[in-house]
C-alpha cells in the first residue's frame, strides 16, 4: 500500500465525479491509504467514496481501548480511532444495497477471523437457493481475507476479492473493505472494539 500522492489525488478527483479535490486533499491530510491498484495513476476508478470527516465524540462518550469504529453508510467510509486517539484511519467501503438491509446503531466486535468461511444467511438462500451451503476461505469467498464479526447476527466488517464493490451499495448488510485495508484494520482492532453504523 502507499500513501496517496497529490498527483494521484488530482487525477482521481478529475476522473471521479464522486470525490472532490478538497475531499481528496483532506483524505491525504489524515493519512488515507489506498491499495496499490487504486494509488496507481494509470488505473481509473469510478467508485471511490465521497469522504466526509467525522469526530468520534459525536458518537461515543470515550474511545475504547480495543478500538473505536464508525461506519458511515452515507459517505461509504469506515473511520477507526485507536484507544489512545493517536491513530485515525479512514477506509473506503461497500455498504448494503438497500436501507432495509442496513442496520444502524451501536454494536461491538465479538470475534476476529483470519481466512473466514462464508455461510449464506437464511434470507440470502431464500432469495437465491442456488447459493452454496458454505464457501471456504479463498479467492471465491465473499468475506475476503479477514472478517470482524459484530454482536448483531450475520453482520460483519470484512474484506472482498471483488474490488468493484468498494464505494458502492453492493452488500447484503455487511460493510466491505479492500482486502489490504481489512488486514490493516484487523491488525489494529481487538475483540470488544466499539462500533457504530450510521
State CA 195 to chain mean position distance. 12
Specify whether 161 is catalytic: no
Assess contact for 6 and 134: CB atoms under 8 A.
no
- Percentage of the chain beyond pLDDT 90 is 54
Among 59, 79, 146, 158, the one annotated catalytic: 158
Distance CA 135, CA 143 (A): 9
Domains of the chain: 1-48 (no CATH), 57-197 (2.40.440.10)
User: How does pLDDT run across 120-141, given as a tens digit for each residue?
Assistant: 989 889 989 999 999 999 988 9
- Given this model, what pLDDT does residue 41 score? 52
- Given this model, what pLDDT does residue 17 score? 37
Specify whether 174 is catalytic: yes
- How far is the CA of 54 from the CAs of 33, 79, 132, 154, 194, in angstroms? 17, 8, 39, 26, 16
The alpha-helical segments, DSSP class H, found in the chain are 6-15, 21-29, 36-39, 122-127, 179-188
User: How does pLDDT run across 16-40, given as a tens digit for each residue?
Assistant: 333 333 444 444 334 444 445 444 4
Query: Stretch 145-160: mean pLDDT, rounded?
Result: 95
Distance CA 196, CA 13 (A): 29
Residue 18 neighbours by CB distance under 10 Å: 17
Among 79, 146, 161, 174, the one annotated catalytic: 174
Which range has highest mean pLDDT (3-7, 49-53, 79-83)?
79-83
Assess contact for 92 and 179: CB atoms under 8 A.
no
Distance CA 20, CA 32 (A): 15
**Residue 12 pLDDT exceeds 50:** no
Assess contact for 166 and 18: CB atoms under 8 A.
no
**pLDDT-based confidence at residue 99 (cuts at 50, 70, 90):** confident
Assess contact for 26 and 37: CB atoms under 8 A.
no
Residue 41 neighbours by CB distance under 10 Å: 12
**pLDDT-based confidence at residue 164 (cuts at 50, 70, 90):** confident
H helix count then E strand count, the chain: 5, 12
Distance CA 159, CA 94 (A): 10
- Given this model, what pLDDT does residue 10 score? 39
DSSP state of 14: H
Query: In degrees rounded to 5, what are phi and psi of residue 36?
Result: -55, -35
Compare 114 and 1 and report the one with higher pLDDT.
Answer: 114
- Given this model, what pLDDT does residue 103 score? 86
Amino acid at each position: 500500500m502507499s500513501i496517496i500522492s497529490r498527483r494521484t489525488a488530482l487525477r482521481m478527483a478529475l476522473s471521479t465525479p464522486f470525490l472532490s479535490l478538497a475531499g481528496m486533499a483532506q483524505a491525504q491530510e489524515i493519512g488515507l491509504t489506498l491499495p496499490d491498484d487504486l494509488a496507481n495513476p494509470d488505473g481509473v476508478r469510478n467508485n471511490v467514496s465521497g469522504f466526509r470527516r467525522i469526530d468520534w465524540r459525536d458518537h461515543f462518550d470515550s474511545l475504547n481501548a480495543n478500538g473505536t469504529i464508525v461506519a458511515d453508510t452515507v459517505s461509504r467510509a469506515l473511520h477507526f480511532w485507536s484507544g489512545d486517539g493517536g491513530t485515525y484511519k479512514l477506509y473506503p467501503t461497500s455498504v448494503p444495497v438497500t436501507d432495509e438491509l442496513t442496520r444502524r446503531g451501536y454494536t461491538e466486535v465479538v470475534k476476529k477471523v483470519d481466512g473466514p468461511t462464508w455461510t449464506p444467511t437464511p434470507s440470502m438462500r431464500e432469495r437465491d437457493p442456488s447459493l452454496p451451503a458454505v464457501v471456504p476461505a479463498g479467492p471465491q469467498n465473499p468475506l475476503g481475507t479477514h472478517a470482524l464479526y459484530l454482536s448483531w447476527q450475520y453482520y460483519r466488517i470484512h474484506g472482498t476479492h471483488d474490488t468493484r464493490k468498494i464505494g458502492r451499495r453492493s452488500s447484503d448488510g455487511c460493510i466491505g473493505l479492500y482486502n489490504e485495508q481489512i488486514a490493516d484494520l484487523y491488525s489494529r482492532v481487538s475483540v470488544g472494539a466499539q462500533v457504530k453504523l450510521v
